[in-house]
Structure formats: C-alpha cells, structure tokens
A = this chain, B = another copy of it.
Amino acid sequence: MDVPENSQIVKSLLDEKNLIHQSKHCLLDLYNCDVLKLNDESFLRCTINNAAKKANARVLNLISHKFEPQGVTAIALLSESHLSIHTWPESHYAAIDIFTCGQNMNPDIASNYLIKALMAQEHMLRFINRNHPS
C-alpha cells in the first residue's frame, strides 16, 4: 500500500521526536576491580569525565566525595543526563549509572571505557528503558 506523502512526513517527525526524547538508563556493576583505583577520588573524577567525553557527552558539572575509611562517589551532570559511580573498595566493587537522553551519547563506549579503566575482571551491564510519555 502506498503511504501518502504527508503521513510519511508526520511519521518522520514523530520518529525524530521519539529519538530526541529516548532515555536509556544503563546500570553497570563492576566486580574484582583494582582496589587502589576504587579508592582514588582524583582518578575517578578524571575517569568519569573521560568516559563521558569519549561517549560524546558534555560534562556540565562534576562532584565527588571520599568516604572514610574507604569508598568514593563521583557524579557528572551531563547535557545528556548523568553519569555516576559509587565504589566499595573493600568488596572490589563499583556501581555505575549512565542515564542518557537523546541520540548524541553512546553509553556503550562509556561502559567499555570504565570496565577497562577500573580493571574489572567481571561485570554486569543492564539497559533499562525509561518510559518517556512521548
């Protein structure tokens, strides 16, 4: 069946709107990481900044906190949403979120970079769809 030209334009605009709003939430758990790196606040700030940039995201702000006796949280506020890491050096473990909106950012690139940077021997990567009403 031939589709009327106007319908194609409307469909294309709707697809574009959906892509612009498409939110993906990537949950990455890293196991058996390098303990020293998990406890190094400066390294982690630099690492999530690099991960975001390599994934084509724009970092608007970056905050972090070093816990006592160990563990770090670092969070980057992005044009494309956020990237966060929480580390538990005593368990050689890190929990990472990469929340992306739109098509600019590639969370797979950020994930692969973080897996290597923290020398994780195992990892679990899950993608959760956020149900934007558009």
Contact = CB atoms under 8 A, between A and B. Distances in A.
A33 to B, nearest CB: 11
A21 B86 contact: no
Kindly report how many copies of this chain are found in the complex they form together: 2
Interface in A1-56: 21, 23, 25, 27, 29, 31
Contacts of A91: 21, 132-134
Chain A interface extent, by class: 35 or more
Contacts of A61: 63, 65
B65 A130 contact: no
Contacts of A65: 60-61, 77
Interface of A: 21, 23, 25, 27, 29, 31, 60-61, 63-65, 67, 73, 75, 77, 79, 81-82, 84, 86, 88, 91-93, 95, 97, 99, 101, 124, 126, 128, 130-134
A-B complex: 5 closest residue pairs judged by Cβ atoms? A61-B63, A95-B130, A91-B133, A60-B65, A93-B133
